[in-house]
Every structure is written in structure tokens, then in C-alpha cells.
Amino acid sequence: MPEHNVMSWTAIITGYVQSGGHDKEAVELFREMFLGHVTPNHFTFSSVLKACGNLSDPYMGEQVYTLAVKMGLALVNCVGNSLISMYARSGRMEDARKAFDILFEKNLVSYNAIVDGYTKNLKSEEAFELFHQIEDTGIGVNAFTYASLLSGAASIGAIGKGEQTHARLLKAGLDSNQCICNALISMYSRCGDIVRRLSSF
């Protein structure tokens, strides 16, 4: 068997994570990589943290992150973003917010991770507060941001917030995006506005 380097290990680990349903295998491969004295890079840590999030295993994720800290890779943006997602997917939003707050340089992926985490954990008010922060930074938002906010509005039956989000995404020219269309239909349906639901279809 040929000797593998960090790139080949990371490629196979990432492949397992992205294929869906193979997160345990990804974590096991990471363990084998480490035992084989191959030093992980920031992309490796990012993928393994995603696997831990998919498994809803924050304890394993914290062990992985501790290794990233020891190797000086914890401040790399993709590692921090994956840590936020890992905590959010495990329902630990306080820890997700701490991970977000300590990020040295926040980008749209960082904001989307925490906004989506808040909406999926039924903390929509926090999600909308962060949305205003994103606008203040001038980073800009994308279809994923709007879809998360629409989901958040639907989860608390806040049709007013949903309509505001709808108006903003129309202005941004994102109303034809399939992800957005589905989120709009779901939001208006869950808020009991059948007429608007049909017009969004």
C-alpha cells in the first residue's frame, strides 16, 4: 500500500463526509491518519469537525478542536466556521456563539453558520439580530442566508419578518432561486398565508 500524505488523507476524509452517512468512517480515518504520524492541515480539521457535527458528537468535536489548537490551526477561518456548525448541529448554541465571537476574521460562511444554527434551534430572534449585523459589516448576504431567515420566520410564525425578508431578497434579485422559492412557500404556508404561498409557487 502506498504511503499517504496529508493531501490524500484529507481528500478521502472529506469524500466520506461529503458523501453522506459515512461520518464515523471519516472520524476513524482521521484517527488512523494521526496514529500514522501524518500531520493534519486546516482542511482536515474542518472536514472532521463537520463529521462530528453530522454525528451530533460535540465531545469528539472538542477533542478534534483541541488538537487544532495545539497545532496552531484553530484560528484558521474554515476551522472556526466548522466549529460553529458542529456546535449548532449539536444544539449547543451558546458554545456556537462563543466560537463565532472569537473568530478573528468573520466572513459570510461564518455568519451563515451561526444564523442557520439559530434558526434550526428555534432562536429566530437572534438570527435576525445577526442578519442586521451582516448588513452593517457590508459583507453582503446570499440565497442561503435568506433561506435560513425564512425558515426562522416560519418556525415562530412571524409573517412580518418573513415578508420583510421576502422584500429584501426581491431587491437582491434572488426570488428565482430554487432554494429561496421553496423557503418562501414553506414560510407562507406555515404562517397560514395560502394566497401568498400560491403566488410564490
Residues 72 and 108 sit within 8 Å (Cβ to Cβ)? no
If you ran DSSP here, which 8-state letter would residue 16 be given? H
Q: pLDDT tens for residues 17-31?
A: 999 889 999 999 999
Q: What is the pLDDT at residue 201?
A: 45
Cell numbers linked to 162: 418573513
Q: Domain 107-201, what architecture?
A: Alpha Horseshoe (1.25)
Closest CA to 22 of 51, 61, 50: 51
- What does the DSSP assignment read for 90-127? TT-HHHHHHHHHT-SS--HHHHHHHHHHHHHTT-HHHH
Distance from chain centroid for Cα 88: 8
pTM for the model: 0.85
Residue 124 has pLDDT above 80, yes or no: yes
pLDDT greater than 90 at residue 158: no
More confident residue, 162 or 65: 65
Question: Mind listing the pLDDT tens digit for each residue in 57-114?
Answer: 999 999 999 999 999 999 899 999 999 999 999 999 999 999 999 998 899 999 999 9
CB 60 within 8 A of CB 88: no
